[in-house]
Amino acid sequence: MNRIQPRIWIAIFTLHTGIAHGFQEQPFAKNPSVRGAPEIIHFGLDDFQSDPMMMAMCEDSSGVKYFGNQDGLLIFDGETWARLELPNKSLVKSLYYGSDHKVYLGGFNEFGTVERDKFGQYQYSSMVDMAKVDHLNLDFVYDIHEVQGHIIFRSMSKLIAIKGQKALTIPTSGFYSSAVVDDRLYMANWEDGIKEFDLHTMNFDLLIPKPLYQWNPIVSITAGNSAETLSIFTRDGQIYSYHLESKHFLLVRNLFNKTSTNQVTGAVRTKDGDYYIGTLADQLIMLTANGKTIPLNKPIIGLQDESVNNLYESKNGNLWVLLENGIDCINLSSPVSTVFNKASVFDVQLFQGIWYIATNQGVWASVQGLTGGPFKHMQFEPIAGLDGQAWSLTSIENQLLCGHEKGLFVIKGKDIKQIPASDGVWKVIPIQEKPGHYLVCTYYAPYLMSINSTGDFQIDNVISGFSESSRDILQSEPGVFWVCHGFKGVFRIKINPDYQSVVSVEHFEEAGLPSPYKVNVFSWKGEPVFTTSKGLYSFNDSLDVFQPHSLLNDILDPNIETRKIMETKDRTWYIHNDEVGYFNHEDNPVLQSEAFLQTRGTFNKHMESITLLDNGVLIGTKKGLFAFDLSSRTGSPVPHSVRISQLSYQNGNSRILLPLDNPLEILASQTQNLRFEYTVPQMDMLNDVRYSYQLSGADQVWSDWEDKPWKEYNSLDPGTYEFSVRAKSKLGESFLTAQHTLIVRPPWHQTTLAFVSYFILGLALIFLCVKVILRLLEEQRQRTILEAEKQNKILRLELDRMQLAQEKNQFESTKTSLEEDLLLKSKELANYATLLSRKQELMIELREELTDLENNTRNEKTRQDLKSLIRKIKIRLNDDDYIKVFEANFERAHHEFFSELKERYPDLTSKELRLCALVKMNLTNKEIAPIMNISIRGIETARYRLRKRLSIHDDMVEFLEKLAP
């Protein structure tokens, strides 16, 4: 869907440093009502995804629109489009909504009804079989009418009249156009002319012979502007009037010139008495109720296609245009219309019957007055020489002044004259105490201006002593002015009586104000009022501070920025919370802003342009000028309601439709992504409907307003819920709330029967559990006894283990003691063996010395004595008793060593065992030799032989050490 006309909610903000001339109220007598071009909504292929050539339309009581095209039937509920094909894939040529609340349609060899089922889906029911007609010879059903209690289907060859379950087929020939006016059926015949058919008498009465309208094909027959008259439109553009009583037939006008190839394709008479005529090549023509013809071509309307196939007026009074390539809806019922859309608007002034608009692209003037009809279109052209930023338009001394970035200008029609002054003039204000003198407010300093004897304006002087921008200025008393600077705060200046210079300047950066920024001054109830980002303030002269304005802050929330206020006769207009509105001067004022919500956040900031009219207001925005008709019922409840169009839930990858029964019972399992879809069909998608919803039992409060026409809930608990949805348009229209009761049944395992079953089963389980528990207790008692016995056995075993451990400890202690004693004895044996070895060495040395002494002595007796002594020593050396004693002690000390040695090597001799013992004691060969009474060489030989017998490859001492100690 595409909108070529700009939406009305257009920005009205720019920089704070711009002009703040604010609102202006002109005398109502000079400000007639203005209605610009209505908004148009285009519906094309991207919207309905079907053939774009439209042929027929109707609307049901809920506001749902039905369109016939080449593919069948299109259905539009205000939010979504649906398609419906006929059984024979025929196009839909005709549509009608009957008093029985059924939609009737006709196609090629097919006709029937369309109704909405309980799931919100549209279903077609053919009536061909019920009417008992040969549908193969029916051809196209061109028109459907309701007349004299019957539904009439008209084809070229027959009329089919249906009443209830009865059908009557009436053969005809040559009827190509038909219409019903005041319950009378009129039809145009190729051969005779226009006839009236009476179902009661079954007669065709000729009313207008064909020659009277010059054999031109009849396109439309509608009610006339007066009672008992018909308006008849021909294809070639003739409009006739026929009086039913006098039979007077008159050519009213011819829409086309003789050379035109254009054709009339359809006509409709609206509730207001205006006629809209569709053409083949020039869009629309409007014929007002007072007889004025207005071509509604692109400069005024701007349809998306030149060729109009048909026209339809909806219940809202909007005009639907069926085109060769799409659908256009002209919003005739909206209180908002476009006056100007070529630039950003800063000021508007009606002067000498011409509308002037100050914009960022200069000044534009209306070159065409208000046209008739509901459009009242104005054409604007720019005034040469005033290109660039124009700030203000002021009517003074019967002259129109323009404050411009280039200076100050006088506008006379399309001519301009510049008044010598400084560049950059915001505006001109009168001086209260000096009639005929004015203050020119500029970017840098104020100027004094007066009107001379010739009636021309002249700049008298620059008012010295103050060089700040005076774009926002208000005179409070003679010579005293308040000046608000966007960033520097507030100044109060006093000018001398001849307005030559400023004699005092008071600068208030705060002085009670919340901030020096974004402060503006206006007059309200005869006193200066200052708007800020934190409420409204007045000035206390005695305390020399700004104080909150209690009355205004009670009406306008001080926590929200207020930028403008303007007092009129019986109400105050404001810019508050970035939106425009007003409140009446009464005891409990109520803010009225819903009618202007579409302008929220769209103003030129601190440069808002609002001009009051007789019954409306003009609002200037960044994208143009728009008219609001305040005489409409905007903001009041209307008898339209929200409709819940579909209910569905998610099942895997599929969405399952639910019936729209109220109340609706569903299972808890059917609340997976449960979606409510809703719409306001009557709104025609013209006013951007917003919705708010609440599901009692799930939502604590109503939701915020949002554009989304659906709401999903997931996994609702069993219970009763009531879904409520309300809607309002951005023009302030509100609608009746739709409600739908939803009963979510629990799954079978949560039903009452299931709970009774659970209770019985629970009792059985309790009984069984008691039995099992008693059995388990008995088994536990037995296990306890066994466990106690087992524990006693374990205890006894533990005591035995502790006793064995104690004995083991004692044994280990004894063993350790014995090992220590053995070690000590081993050391003693080693010492003994060492001493024994030394003793033997000593005796050998003594024997050798005695032998030497014997050989050297001469005395025989001494020699014999020496021999005897040597013999005793030799006997003593050969005596091995001491060796046996040593071996016995060593074997006792190292019993395990000898046992293992003898076990592993049983063929060892006693000398070899002895040698092993001496080696284990780590004695040297030199120490072993005397003990064994052999030489050191003999010891070495003995050890060598012993190593071979023991197969020792490593050190012999280490080998013996590895044996048992």
Whole-number Å distance between alpha carbons of 558 and 577: 10
**Residue 709 preceded by cis peptide, ω within 30:** no
Spatial strand order of the sheet with 319-323 comes to 2-3, 40-43, 326-330, 319-323, 308-313
Distance separating alpha carbons of residues 366 and 352, to the nearest angstrom? 11
Contact 106, 153 (CB under 8 A): yes
Q: Indicate whether 8 pLDDT > 50.
A: no
| pLDDT value of position 5 | 39
**Three-state secondary-structure class, residue 916:** helix
Q: How confident is the model at residue 709 (pLDDT cuts 50, 70, 90)?
A: very high
Higher pLDDT, 883 or 799: 799
Q: What average pLDDT is seen over the chain?
A: 85
- The reported pLDDT for the residue numbered 918 is 78
* pLDDT tens digits along 573-591: 998 888 888 999 888 888 8
In the chain, what are the domains? Answer: 53-172 (2.130.10.10), 339-629 (2.130.10.10), 638-750 (2.60.40.10), 766-962 (no CATH)
pLDDT at position 902:
81
Q: How confident is the model at residue 205 (pLDDT cuts 50, 70, 90)?
A: very high
In this prediction, residues 579-606 reach a mean pLDDT of: 83
Q: Who's near 166: CB < 8 A, 6+ residues apart?
A: none
Residue 433: count of CB within 10 angstroms of its CB: 12
- Tell me the residue ranges of DSSP E strands in 443-576: 447-451, 457-462, 473-477, 480-485, 489-495, 502-508, 520-524, 527-532, 535-540, 545-548, 562-567, 571-576
What's the pLDDT at 14? Answer: 29
* Residue 423 scores a pLDDT above 50: yes
pLDDT digits (tens, 9 = 90+) for 106-145: 999 999 999 999 999 999 999 998 888 876 688 899 999 9
Res. 889 pLDDT band, cuts 50 70 90: low
- d(CA 279, CA 309) in angstroms, rounded, equals 8
pLDDT of residue 885: 63
More confident residue, 881 or 401: 401
Count of residues in the chain: 965
Flag whether pLDDT at 823 surpasses 70. no
Mean pLDDT of the region 445-465: 92
Per-residue confidence (pLDDT) for residue 341, from 0 to 100 = 86
| pLDDT, tens only, 673-699 | 999 999 988 876 655 788 999 999 889
The mean-pLDDT minimum among 533-537, 622-626, 816-820 falls in 816-820
Bridge partners of 694?
724
**Residues above pLDDT 90, as percent of the chain:** 46
Say whether pLDDT at 380 is over 50: yes
Cβ neighbours for 551, distance < 8 A, ≥ 6 positions apart: none
Cβ(50)–Cβ(19) under 8 Å?
A: no
Mean pLDDT highest for which of 770-779, 809-818, 917-926?
A: 770-779
* pLDDT level of residue 860 (50, 70, 90 thresholds): confident
The answer for 69, left when phi > 0, alpha when psi is -120 to 50, beta otherwise, is: beta
Q: With contact defined as beta carbons under 8 Å apart, do 691 and 726 qualify?
A: yes
β-strands 293-296, 562-567: how paired?
unpaired
pLDDT score for 829: 63
At residue 396, the pLDDT reads: 92
d(C-alpha 143, C-alpha 186), whole Å? 12
What pLDDT, on a 0 to 100 scale, did the predictor assign at position 464?
94
What was the pLDDT predicted at 880? 59
Q: Which of 207-211, 706-710, 811-815 has the lowest mean pLDDT?
A: 811-815
899 versus 411: the higher-pLDDT residue is 411
Cα separation, 21 vs 16, in Å, equals: 12
Q: Is the pLDDT of residue 9 over 60?
A: no
Tens digits of per-residue pLDDT, 618-652? Answer: 889 888 888 888 776 444 445 678 999 999 999 88
362 beta partners: 359
- Residue 463 CB partners (closer than 8 Å, separation 6+): 439, 445, 446, 447, 448, 495, 499, 500, 501, 502
Tell me which residue of 921, 956, 959 sits closest to 940, measured CA to CA.
Answer: 956
How far is residue 442's CA from residue 427's CA, in Å, rounded to a whole number? 7
Please check whether residue 527 is in contact with residue 544, taking contact to mean a CB–CB distance below 8 angstroms: no
Q: Please say whether the dihedral angle defined by the alpha carbons of residues 816, 819, 825 and 826, taken in this order, is positive or negative.
A: negative
In this prediction, residue 300 has a pLDDT band, given cuts at 50, 70 and 90, of low
Average the pLDDT over 417-444 and give the result.
Answer: 91
Q: 4 falls in which pLDDT band (50, 70, 90)? A: very low
What would the DSSP string read from start to end of 39-99?
PEEEE-HHHH-S---EEEEEE-TT--EEEEETTEEEEE-SS-EEEE--TT---EEEEEE-T
Report the range of poorest mean pLDDT among 20-34, 268-282, 605-619: 20-34
Which residues have CB under 8 Å from 771's CB, separation 6+?
none
Residue 891: band (very low, low, confident or very high) from pLDDT cuts 50, 70, 90: low
Instruction: Indicate the pLDDT class of residue 60, thresholds 50, 70 and 90.
Output: very high
Q: Among 168-172, 285-289, 294-298, 492-496, which stretch is predicted with the lowest mean pLDDT?
A: 294-298
Is the separation of the CB atoms in 639 and 602 below 8 Å? no
The yes-or-no verdict on residue 2 having pLDDT over 70 is no
Q: Of 149-158, 727-736, 813-822, give the range with the top mean pLDDT.
A: 149-158
> Residue 945 half-sphere exposure, CB side, CA atoms within 13 Å?
12
**pLDDT band at 810; cut points 50, 70, 90:** confident
Residue 466 pLDDT class (50, 70, 90 cuts): very high
Residue 23 pLDDT grade (very low, low, confident, very high; cuts 50, 70, 90):
very low
Higher pLDDT among residues 276 and 37, named by residue: 276
Of the candidates 492, 453, 460, the one whose C-alpha atom is nearest the C-alpha of residue 473 is 492
Pick 532 or 728 by higher pLDDT.
532
CA distance 496 to 718: 82
For 322-374, how does the pLDDT look when each residue is reduced to its tens digit (9 = 90+)? 999 999 998 887 788 888 888 999 999 989 888 899 999 999 998 755 444 45
